[in-house]
Amino acid sequence: MTPGARVAAAIELLDAVEADLTRPVDALVAGWFRKRRYAGGGDRRAIQAILYTVLRRRAQIDWWLEAEGRPVDSRGRALVALTLGEGWGEADLDGAFDGGQYRPAPLDEGECALAASLAGKGFDDPAQPVHVRGNIPAWMEEGFRAALGDTLEPELAALMREAPVDLRINSLKTSREAVAGLLAAQGIESTPTPFSPLGLRLAGRVNLANSPIIRDGLAEPQDDSSQIAALLAGARPGEAIVDFCAGAGGKTLALAAIMENRGHIVACDTSPGRLERARPRLERAGVEIAELQVLEGGNGLWPGAEEGGYDRVLVDAPCSGTGVWRRHPEARWRINSEDLMQYMALQARILTAASRLVAPGGRLVYAVCSLLPEEGEGRVAEFLRMCPDFNAFPVCKAWETRLGSDCPAGDVFLRLRPGRDGTDGFFVAILVRDGGSSSILLA
Ligand SMILES: C[S@@+](CC[C@H](N)C(=O)[O-])C[C@H]1O[C@@H](n2cnc3c(N)ncnc32)[C@H](O)[C@@H]1O
């Protein structure tokens, strides 16, 4: 594809993303390229660079367009991304925007003036408000400030960067060293993840979907923070565990490996489609202790669920996803304050339903990939008020037991952050139910 055709493709994709922000962009992009087999790897990289720059920096790009009195549309956004992000000058722009077949129309006078005015500049400008510089919706600035305090700006900057690819090594089948060796043989560099003893972080963007490492169940893509959440649940071989909100089974896989394939895990979710996607993953990982259950009872549980029958219940609740905006930059522009309220209400309902499964003395572990306190500390405080037979168990103690080091990210609750910790944003609380034997309390 010519540079112009790549720009036209990026504009087309930007229009498609804007038309339906609820559709995950990676799926949309994959579908677009499936239908255009002529596009090669270089085309894909160039098109995605424009697309993702706009999605990550949309507030700043729109600020520049408005400052220059230009209409805010996909073509204008692509033009700003090319000039500020890729450093394109007049010659590059004229070469691409030439009106040829499959290429965008030539720049008009206003667009030429915009490009000239932006030449040599960066995305940042001191006149931009914090929410513009940090590329978050204006209504969220207060919540983020409450959560991040003095670290607000560096954390928002970190949240704009591309996330690394982390793998969780399947200890049922192999070791971290062995997988690092297999990757190296394929020319892929990796280093241990900052925290998880089973994690490898890949250098650069690598698509391992068709690699034998994934196909044979030796490893699964999973951010370091998610690996840590599963580890802090404290599951032990032989226990009865529920992975509530199991989705496609990411945490179930991690729990089964921690439990050395001994005991029992009920992986449940309201979405049968997501649970079905867990099935092949569990099979290739060699997990034999997981049972899949669709949550379809009016009480929020699966039919026949045994209340008070489980040692640990992990709730990886649906949330704003603010902690994973590095991976899904489009999600920033999708969420509104009503959505957040709905997530909070759903989290409360799910916590109440899941808590009924916890045995006396057992644990309810609540996790969200959110940076917002109202979805983390706030939800837990409300739950503890409503259910006084549960008490918070300090995450730092669980961290010490499981990871053998001091917890770098909180005492009572875990708060991982992209800027400080190099992981997705993640919140974890461990809540212990009164009664029963105290053996679980020690783990
Ligand atoms: C954050 S995702 C879970 C990701 C998964 N645990 C993993 O590690 O891959 C949240 C999940 O909650 C599920 N969910 C939504 N409403 C629910 C409800 N009322 N009860 C249980 N799960 C629900 C969604 O279908 C989604 O799969």
Domains of the chain: 3-128 (1.10.940), 165-220 (3.30.70.1170), 224-442 (3.40.50.150)
Q: How far is the CA of 251 from the centre of ligand 1 (A)?
A: 11
Under a CB-based contact definition with an 8 Å cutoff, are residues 357 and 328 in contact?
no
Q: How far is the CA of 269 from the centre of ligand 1 (A)?
A: 6
Per-residue pLDDT of the chain (443 residues), as tens digits, is: 999 999 999 999 999 998 888 888 988 999 999 998 888 889 999 999 999 999 999 999 999 999 999 999 999 999 999 999 999 999 999 999 998 889 999 999 999 999 999 999 999 999 999 999 999 999 999 999 999 999 999 999 999 999 999 999 999 999 999 999 999 999 999 999 999 999 999 988 888 878 899 999 999 999 999 999 999 999 999 999 999 999 999 999 999 999 999 999 999 999 999 999 999 999 999 999 999 999 987 889 999 999 999 999 999 999 999 999 999 999 999 999 999 999 999 999 999 999 999 999 999 999 999 999 999 999 999 999 999 999 999 999 999 999 999 999 989 999 999 999 999 999 999 999 998 764 444 44
Q: Whose CA is nearest to atom 7 of ligand 1?
A: 250
Could you list the beta-strand ranges (E) of 299-357. Answer: 310-316
Kindly give the residue spans of alpha helices, DSSP state H, lying in 260-336: 272-285
Q: How far is the CA of 132 from the centre of ligand 1 (A)?
A: 31
Burial call 138-161: b when 16+ CB within 10 Å, e when fewer: eebbebbeebbeeebeebbebbbe
d(CA 406, CA 401): 10
Q: Whose CA is nearest to atom 4 of ligand 1?
A: 247
Q: How far is the CA of 79 from the centre of ligand 1 (A)?
A: 38
Chain-centre distance for alpha carbon 88: 31
Show the ligand 1 pocket: residues with CB < 6 angstroms: 226, 244-248, 250-251, 269-271, 274, 295, 300, 316, 318, 350
Under a CB-based contact definition with an 8 Å cutoff, are residues 225 and 424 in contact?
yes
pTM over 0.85: yes
d(CA 160, CA 61): 14
pLDDT at 442: 47
- Mutation to probe ligand 1, out of 166, 245, 343 (largest number of atoms < 8 A from CB): 245
Q: Whose CA is nearest to atom 8 of ligand 1?
A: 250
Q: Whose CA is nearest to atom 6 of ligand 1?
A: 246
Burial call 254-265: b when 16+ CB within 10 Å, e when fewer: bbbbbbebebbb
List Cβ neighbours of 23 (8 Å cut-off, separation of 6 or more): 17
pLDDT at 119: 92
pLDDT at 206: 83
Q: Whose CA is nearest to atom 3 of ligand 1?
A: 247
Q: How far is the CA of 136 from the centre of ligand 1 (A)?
A: 24
